Chains A and B, each alone.
Chain A
Amino acid sequence: MCQVDEDYDSLLERHVVASDTKKCNKCKETTAALILKPGETFCRCCFKDHFVHKFRAMLGKNRIIFPGEKVLLAVSGGSSSCAMLNQVQQGLSQKAHKKLRFKPGIVYIDEGCVLGQSLEERQKTMAQIQSLFKRAGFPYHIIPLEMVLNLPSSVLEPVHVATDDPAGNYKVAVDHFMQTNPGHFLDSNTQVDQSEPSLLTDGTVPQLIDEAQTQILQELFSMVKTLTAKEDLLHTLRRHVLVSTARAEGYSKLMLGENCTRLAVKLLANIAMGRGAQLAVDTAFSDPRYGDIVAVRPMRDYTAKEISLYNYMCNVPSVFIPSLETKTTDKSSIQRLTESFVVKLQGDFPSTVSTIYRTSEKLQTANFTEDIATVSLKCLLCMCTLETTLGETSAFQATLISEQLSQHICRITNLAIGSHVPSHSLLCINCCLLFFSCSRGGDSMNLESFLCYSCQQTVKDMTSVKFLPQYIMSEAQRRNRRSQMRHEISEFLLNEDQDSTSIKAES
Chain B
Amino acid sequence: MPVQCSRCAEQRAVLKRPKTSQSLCKDCFFWVFEEEVHHTIVSAGLFKAGETVAIGASGGKDSTVLAHVMKVLNERYQYGLHLILLSVDEGITGYRDDSLETVKRNQQQYDLPLKIVSYEELYGWTMDAIVKQVGMKNNCTFCGVFRRQALDRGAKLLNVDKICTGHNADDLAETVLMNVLRGDIARLRRCTAISTSSGGEGVLPRCKPLKYAYEKEIVLYAYFKKLDYFSTECIYSPNAYRGHARAFLKDLESVRPSAIMAVLHSGENLSVKESVKMPVQGTCSRCGYISSQTLCKACVLLEGLNRGLPRLGIGKHHRLHGKLLSQQPLTEAEERKLKAVDF
Contact = CB atoms under 8 A, between A and B. Distances in A.
Interface of A: 226, 228, 267-268, 270-277, 279-280, 330-334, 337-338, 341, 345, 349, 352, 355-356, 358-359, 362-366, 387, 390, 392-399, 401-403, 405-409, 411, 431-432, 434-435, 453-454, 457, 500-506
Interface stretch (B58-66, B265-273, B305-313): B265-273
A115 B175 CA distance: 37
Interface in B245-292: 248, 251-252, 254-256, 258-259, 261-274, 276
A364 B272 contact: yes
A402 B20 contact: yes
Given A226-B256, A435-B6, A363 B272 contact: yes
A453 B269 CA distance: 11
B28 interface: yes
A337 B255 contact: yes
A395 B268 contact: yes
A136 B317 CA distance: 61
A121 B36 CA distance: 52
19 contacts: A268-B177, A272-B262, A272-B263, A273-B262, A277-B271, A330-B251, A331-B255, A333-B255, A341-B248, A349-B240, A359-B180, A364-B273, A395-B268, A402-B36, A406-B17, A406-B20, A409-B9, A453-B265, A502-B47
Interface string B1-41: 00000111110000001011010100010011001101111
Interface range on chain B (Cβ under 8 Å from partner): 35 or more
Contacts of A277: 266, 269-271
A334 B32 contact: no
Interface stretch (B154-162, B182-190, B196-204, B325-333): B182-190
Given A356-B181, A359-B188, A411-B9, 4 more contacts: A274-B262, A364-B272, A366-B271, A409-B8
Interface of B: 6-10, 17, 19-20, 22, 24, 28, 31-32, 35-36, 38-49, 77, 79, 169, 176-177, 180-183, 185, 188, 194, 212, 240, 244, 248, 251-252, 254-256, 258-259, 261-274, 276
Contact of A272 (B49, B194, B252, B276): B252
B212 A352 contact: no
Contacts of A272: 252, 259, 262-263, 266
A503 B48 contact: yes
Contacts of B9: 408-409, 411, 431-432, 434-435
Given A390-B269, A407-B7, A502-B45, A355 B262 contact: no
Contacts of A399: 258, 261
Nearest to A461: B256
B180 A267 contact: yes
Contacts of A267: 180
Contacts of B251: 330-331, 337, 341
A363 B256 contact: no
Given A331-B251, A359-B180, A503-B77, A398 B36 contact: yes
Nearest to B179: A359
Given A268-B180, A334-B255, A359-B183, A395 B7 contact: no
B81 to A, nearest CB: 9
Contacts of B46: 502
Contacts of A405: 31-32, 35-36
A333 B259 CA distance: 11
Nearest to B51: A503
B36 A271 contact: no
Nearest to B241: A349
Given A355-B183, A364-B272, A271 B263 contact: yes
Given A337-B255, A358-B183, A402-B36, A503 B273 contact: no
A366 B48 CA distance: 31
A75 to B, nearest CB: 30
A279 B270 contact: yes
